[in-house]
Amino acid sequence: MDCYIVLGLDRGATLSEIKRAYKRLARRHHPDINPGDRMASAHFRQIAEAYETLSDPDRRRRYDATGQAAASADASAYGFEGFDFSMSVSGSAASTFGDLFADVFGERETPRQDGPPERGADLHQTITIGFEEAMRGAERPIAVTRQVRCRTCRGMGWLQIAETPCAHCQGSGIVKSARGHMVFSRPCASCGGSGQQRRSRCPTCAGQQTEMRTEPLTIGVPPGMADGGCIRVAGKGHVGRNRGETGDLDIAVHVEPHPLFRREGDDLHVTVPVAVHEAALGAKIDVPSLDGRLRLRVPPGTQSGQRFRLRERGAPSPGGAGRGDLVVEARLVLPNVLDERSKELLREFGRINDEDVRRDLNERKGHQGH
């Protein structure tokens, strides 16, 4: 379960945004509002668990780091103390209770089918792929839980019904609410002041126009994807309200490191061992690459740390504009001297070249002094 997806939030959501999302969803799915609805009860437990995890700073940090939510929340313990949802209230008392309830949650009782279109929120996920998969491209199956248009009301939030007297205002078109010793009258929001109901709140989405659904997706990772890259899948975020545009799905790609190659931009760097005699006399050595083994000519006098560039043997550019280079760094490796003959040859080599080595060292010191 992704706590952010359950509450319909981005990962950077503030505490106030988390509280608003929780109150809005908890009111819709509370078991006392949906008696006998097991799906609503299960969804409410998820909402309460997500809120418990994200509203606590320490638990939220642990969840962001590990993806592990807090222990299951007691759904009955959050946000509804003092309200009896099963009580039957009618007449002016019903309107007063409804107004107070709306004051607490900042929402109206009427279905939310009116208003300007609202774009749906973007969703965010992370996938992990191997280095070689990233170089050649790959496909990854994922599951996305997101808000979609309610199938029962087709995203309207209400259902057309035969005209009946409005139950909220008893057909009067006016509701009354008391604040202390004052009584206020206003047009009934449920019927628009007509006293007649032609619409009924959708029982599936409770007038919110959306429902949660999990669907499978296959994500194509283009060749050359770098660690930290992002893939955007248009139209796979939360659906927008009032026929608004659907948000997108942003997928962050984590590429596992490779034991040999190090990537810098589109160039790949690799270090290969070179024997002393190969470096001194020159040789052809095998070099690993994405295309298999390559032959590299090491010129005579090669120094440890010297680099050679093989054009267009690096990583593919994610935009399809060719490839980077393969940068090969030579690392001199000393032999294991075991027999006396080898030792004597090295001693002779040292005596012959000692003067050249000292002169080169002194020249370097002289350059540093200038």
365 within some domain: yes
**Are 251 and 342 in the same domain?**
no
Tally of structural domains, the chain: 3
- In three state form, how does the secondary structure of 156-224 look? CCEEEEEEEECCCCCCCCEEEEEECCEEEEEECCCCCCCCEEEEEECCCCCCCCEEEEEEEEEEEECCC
Considering the domain boundaries, does residue 101 fall inside one? no
Tokens encoding 209: 């126009």
Q: What pLDDT, in 10s, does the model give residues 195-207?
A: 888 888 898 888 8
| Cβ-proximal residues to 80 (8 Å cutoff; 6+ apart), any chain | 26, 30, 32
Report yes or no: 328 and 273 within 8 Å, Cβ to Cβ: no
Is pTM beyond 0.75 here? no
CB atoms within 10 A of CB 343: 11
The answer to whether 9 and 146 are in contact (CB under 8 A) is: no
Residues 267 and 323 in one domain: yes
Task: Note the pLDDT of residue 180.
Answer: 57
Closest of 111, 285, 117, 316 to residue 198, by C-alpha: 111
Structural domain containing residue 247: 118-155+209-256
Q: Tell me: do 149 and 217 sit in the same domain.
A: yes
**Domain check: are 83 and 142 in the same one?**
no
Residues 342, 279 share a domain: yes
Given a contact cutoff of 8 angstroms between Cβ atoms, the answer to whether 197 and 190 are in contact is yes
Q: Position of tokens 């030579």? A: 330
| Same domain flag for 271 and 299 | yes
pLDDT in tens, the chain (370 residues): 788 888 888 888 899 889 888 888 887 877 767 777 777 777 888 888 888 888 888 888 888 877 766 544 444 444 443 333 433 344 433 433 444 444 434 334 444 445 788 899 999 999 999 999 999 999 999 999 999 999 999 888 888 888 889 888 888 888 887 665 566 778 887 787 888 888 888 988 888 889 999 999 999 999 999 999 999 999 999 999 888 899 999 999 999 999 999 999 999 999 999 998 899 999 999 999 999 999 999 999 999 999 999 999 999 987 777 899 999 999 999 887 668 888 888 788 778 776 665 565 566 555 555 5
Place of tokens 């979609």: 148
Residues 293 and 238 in one domain: no
Q: Residue 286 domain-assigned?
A: yes
Token pair of 146 as six digits: 């997101």
Closest CA to 240 of 67, 117, 353, 368: 117
Does 222 share its domain with 138?
yes
Q: Is residue 100 part of a domain?
A: no
The model's pLDDT over 322-337, given as tens digits with 9 standing for 90+, comes to 899 999 999 999 887 6
- Domain final position from 43, 71, 87: 87
For residue 83, is it within any domain?
yes
In a domain, 242, yes or no: yes
pLDDT in tens, 31-77: 767 777 777 777 888 888 888 888 888 888 888 877 766 544 444 44
CATH number at residue 315: 2.60.260.20
Residues 123, 252, single domain; the answer is yes
Nearest to 113 by CA among 76, 75, 141, 153: 153
Residue type, 154: R
Whether 230 and 281 share a structural domain: no
Q: 107 lies in a domain? A: no
Query: Who's near 54: CB < 8 A, 6+ residues apart?
Result: 3, 4, 7, 9, 13, 18, 60, 63
Separation of alpha carbons 223 and 27, rounded Å: 46
Q: Tokens 């083994």 belong to which residue?
A: 293
**If residue 129 lies in a helix (H) or strand (E), which one and from where to where?**
strand 123-129
Same-domain check for residues 243 and 124: yes
Question: 239 with 309, same domain?
Answer: no
